């Protein structure tokens, strides 16, 4: 009898080991996932979509998009620590590379390693660069990528002949100016439109957009903003575009007050020449935050991208 019990126990353990991958197919539960450098809010049901915000932006930049998509998609809304919450480990040292690796690991742990298809990634600004880094360095974790108003190397906007190395002095200077704001009291008065001559105005041409951006900038930790800005300015992904297998869609802004359509196209599209599968779409009448300035056009572009 004892021998029969022992054999039965071993058999049960063996079956359990075989069955464990089935349990692993269960997706990460809805709610907030706490990471070291990021947090991710999971909501909705359906194919997986990862939404990455840009510099100083919290996940709420995707609120309107999430409201539309969460009935048909499982959304993973990323937020970098320091952009809307406490900075944690992001308060010191490089941020972008470590964040990219942590997000790639999250996608593996919570999506692809659970037996689900690789997600679509939509990233705005720094989020678009982050998505491009994942697509090049962890290609199995990306089914398709939409980059919203971002470049593989932002330095060319300042100087067409710029390199990551030549951009470092300017990046260090800009980062130092931002970092110096740390410790100053954060205003408690309601956020209002800072006006068409403000920094926010370079990123949105609407009063509501400028107000939202001003509020996000107010709440962002200057140390994290400074470091991520430096990281972005000194990251050049052009040499890695050949490693990107996923189809890439670029959505970029154009506002007559800032740049003609011809100049906007010349500034953005040629930088992605190394991609195998690439499409680009200009959004007229918009500045950097396309989702705020042209929400209807932005929604149509996302719907078309996810339907591919």
Among 159, 154, 123, 153, which residue's Cα sits nearest to residue 250? 123
Digit-coded pLDDT (tens) for 197-229? 999 999 999 999 999 999 999 999 999 999 999
Number of structural domains (the chain) is: 1
Domain membership flag for residue 204 = no
Digit-coded pLDDT (tens) for 131-176? 999 999 999 999 999 999 999 999 999 899 999 999 999 999 999 9
Domain membership flag for residue 1 = no
Domain membership flag for residue 170 = no
Domain membership flag for residue 85 = yes
Confidence of residue 12 (pLDDT cuts 50, 70, 90): very low
HSE of 101, CA atoms in CB hemisphere, 13 A = 5
Q: Distance (Å, rounded) from C-alpha 194 to C-alpha 210?
A: 7
Which residues 6+ apart lie within 8 Å of 263 measured at CB? none
Domain membership flag for residue 140 = yes
Q: What local confidence, expressed as pLDDT, does residue 1 receive?
A: 39
E-strand stretches of the chain: 31-34, 38-44, 48-52, 74-80, 120-124, 144-148, 248-254, 278-284
Confidence of residue 21 (pLDDT cuts 50, 70, 90): very low
Mean pLDDT of the chain: 92
Q: Distance (Å, rounded) from C-alpha 85 to C-alpha 88?
A: 9
Say which CATH number the domain at 247 has: 3.40.50.1820
Residue 271's domain comprises 28-152+237-307
Nearest-5° Cα angle at 229, 56 to 110: 60
Mean pLDDT confidence for 241-257:
98
Domain membership flag for residue 284 = yes
Domain membership flag for residue 227 = no
Q: What is the pTM of this model?
A: 0.91
In degrees and rounded to multiples of 5, residue 47 shows phi and psi of: -60, 145
In degrees and rounded to multiples of 5, residue 158 shows phi and psi of: -90, -35
CA dihedral 188, 193, 196, 200 (to 10 degrees): 60
Among 304, 290, 306, 274, which residue's Cα sits nearest to residue 135? 274
Domain membership flag for residue 159 = no
pLDDT surpassing 60 at residue 22: no
Q: Which DSSP helix (H) or strand (E) runs through 6?
A: helix 2-24
Q: What percent of the chain has pLDDT over 70?
A: 92
In degrees and rounded to multiples of 5, residue 74 shows phi and psi of: -95, 110
């Amino acid at each position: 009898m004892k021998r029969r019990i022992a054999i039965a126990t071993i058999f049960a353990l063996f079956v359990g080991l075989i069955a464990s991958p089935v349990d692993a197919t269960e997706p990460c539960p809805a709610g907030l996932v706490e990471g070291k450098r990021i947090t991710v809010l999971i909501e909705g049901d359906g194919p997986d979509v990862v939404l990455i915000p840009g510099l100083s932006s919290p996940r709420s930049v995707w609120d309107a998009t999430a409201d539309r998509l969460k009935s048909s998609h499982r959304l993973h809304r990323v937020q970098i620590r320091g952009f809307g919450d406490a900075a944690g480990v992001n308060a010191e040292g490089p941020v972008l590379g470590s964040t990219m690796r942590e997000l790639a690991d999250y996608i593996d742990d919570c999506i692809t390693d659970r037996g689900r298809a690789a997600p679509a990634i939509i990233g705005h600004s720094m989020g678009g660069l982050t998505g491009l880094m994942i697509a090049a360095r962890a290609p199995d974790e990306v089914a398709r990528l939409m980059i919203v108003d971002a470049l593989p190397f932002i330095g060319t906007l300042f100087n067409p002949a710029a390199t990551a190395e030549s951009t470092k002095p300017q990046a260090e200077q800009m980062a130092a100016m931002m970092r110096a704001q740390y410790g100053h009291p954060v205003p408690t008065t309601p956020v209002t439109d800072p006006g068409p001559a403000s920094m926010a105005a370079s990123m949105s041409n609407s009063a509501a957009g400028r107000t939202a951006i001003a509020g996000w900038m107010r709440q962002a930790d200057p140390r994290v903003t400074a470091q991520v800005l430096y990281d972005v300015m000194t990251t050049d992904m052009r040499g890695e575009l050949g490693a990107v297998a996923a189809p890439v869609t670029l959505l970029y802004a154009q506002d007559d007050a800032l740049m003609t359509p011809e100049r906007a196209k010349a500034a953005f599209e040629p930088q992605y020449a190394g991609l195998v599968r690439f499409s680009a779409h200009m959004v007229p009448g918009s500045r950097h935050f396309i989702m705020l300035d042209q929400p209807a056009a932005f929604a149509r572009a996302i719907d078309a991208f996810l339907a591919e």
